[in-house]
Amino acid sequence: MKVAVVGATGLVGRKMLQVLEERQFPVSCLVPVASDKSVGRHVSFMGKQWEVVSIEQALSQDVQIALFSAGSQVSKRFAPEFASRGVYVIDNSSAWRMDKDVKLIVPEINGDLLTKDDYLIANPNCSTIQMVMVLAPLHEKYGIKRIVVSTYQSVTGAGYLAVEQMIHERSGFFDLQKFPHRIDMNVLPHCDVFLENDYTKEEMKLVNETHKILEDYDIQVSPTAARVPVIGGHAESVNVELNREFEIHDVRQLLSDTPGVVVLDNPADNEYPMPIWAYDKDEVFVGRLRRDLFVPRALNMWIVADNIRKGAATNAVQIAQIIAKFIK
């Protein structure tokens, strides 16, 4: 297939190329797309060098699938244009996630909703993906009443400049300012922009996207998102109140049987999920499973995943693998 990766030189775009190669996606021709300053450069894929082109050039190259990871503005402008030409677009930005006509897909949860007529598909936010991967089976069996989630998000979620700022600060240089404050040796309770309700855009993604993916708008979601000086992945402390009674051993077994989820929960031997462990892995890891001490039918858990892989690139490629079945 002829596949375009829009944003091919960015953190997520490069990881998309890696995952496409790892999963042996049937790419006969790669069309790497990036901003004007990168046009003419080359990216490595499947042992070959592929020249980076502009998005306007890519429109004329009869692409069949386009993976977008170049930001909301690019997606708003160009994703519909690609889709109108019969290209299946899988968009990693927030541009289309809450559009009622665009499906928001985590393949393990609702991949069966996709049809051959879905030419524009939204990839959820990284923090949402790892949380719903664990909560979806619980919701199906017990029903979820309320979620309280606090995220500890890697600097990689904010892009190259964020990573560079942290590295520079660790070397004693404070010349970069991707964040409004120092990030090394610090924690910022601030992911994305603040909205009128005093929650950040990142926090509201956890609310709105969870409702849409689980198809239940009655679930109460109380989010706090923080940025931490970590590279390996995002971590989340999640307290979930269920509608029906449960036993911890049943929850542990249910999650152990869930595709894409790995239970790592042995505190006696200091075994629990950590970003350094999740780095460059596709699975979502969950541990620290325990009952809430005061709220009936509630439990606490700790969820970790590589936000660049399952939180972005891998999820998008998994969607592409489903879409590939519709392409003759």
Annotated catalytic residues are 126, 234
Task: Tell which residue, 86, 106, 87, 84, has the closest CA to residue 97.
Answer: 106
What is the structure's pLDDT at 130? 98
- In terms of CATH, what superfamily is 2-124+312-326? NAD(P)-binding Rossmann-like Domain (3.40.50.720)
What is the structure's pLDDT at 42? 96
Task: Tell which residue, 249, 215, 238, 235, has the closest CA to residue 143.
Answer: 215
3-state secondary structure of 87: coil
Which residue ranges does the chain devote to CATH 3.40.50.720?
2-124+312-326
Task: Tell which residue, 61, 37, 40, 65, has the closest CA to residue 52.
Answer: 40
CB 311 within 8 A of CB 305: yes
314 Cβ contact partners less than 8 Å away, ≥ 6 residues apart: 15, 19, 282
CB atoms within 10 A of CB 48: 9
Residue type, 77: R
What is the structure's pLDDT at 274? 98
Task: Tell which residue, 265, 235, 260, has the closest CA to residue 248.
Answer: 265
Handedness of CA 27, 31, 35, 41 (dihedral sign): positive
For helices 11-22 and 314-323, the axis angle rounded to 10 degrees is 50
271 Cβ contact partners less than 8 Å away, ≥ 6 residues apart: 264, 265, 287
What is the structure's pLDDT at 176? 84
> 10-residue block means of pLDDT along the chain (328 residues)?
97 97 97 95 96 96 97 97 98 98 98 98 98 98 98 96 96 93 97 97 98 98 98 96 98 98 97 97 98 98 98 98 93
What is the structure's pLDDT at 22? 98
What is the structure's pLDDT at 223? 98
Backbone φ and ψ for 120, nearest 5 degrees, come out as: -130, 120
What's the DSSP call for residue 102?
S
CA angle 279, 22, 287 (to 5 degrees): 30
What is the structure's pLDDT at 114? 98
Question: How distant, in Å, are the alpha carbons of 117, 151, 204, 208, 253 from that of 303?
Answer: 34, 9, 19, 19, 16
- In terms of CATH, what superfamily is 127-307? Dihydrodipicolinate Reductase; domain 2 (3.30.360.10)
Quick one: tokens of 284?
A: 């979502």
CB 293 within 8 A of CB 285: no
What is the structure's pLDDT at 328? 72
Which residue ranges does the chain devote to CATH 3.30.360.10?
127-307
Predicted TM-score (pTM) of this structure: 0.97
Task: Tell which residue, 152, 158, 157, 155, has the closest CA to residue 166.
Answer: 155
What is the structure's pLDDT at 24? 97
Quick one: tokens of 8?
A: 């091919």
Task: Tell which residue, 20, 64, 23, 65, has the closest CA to residue 45.
Answer: 20
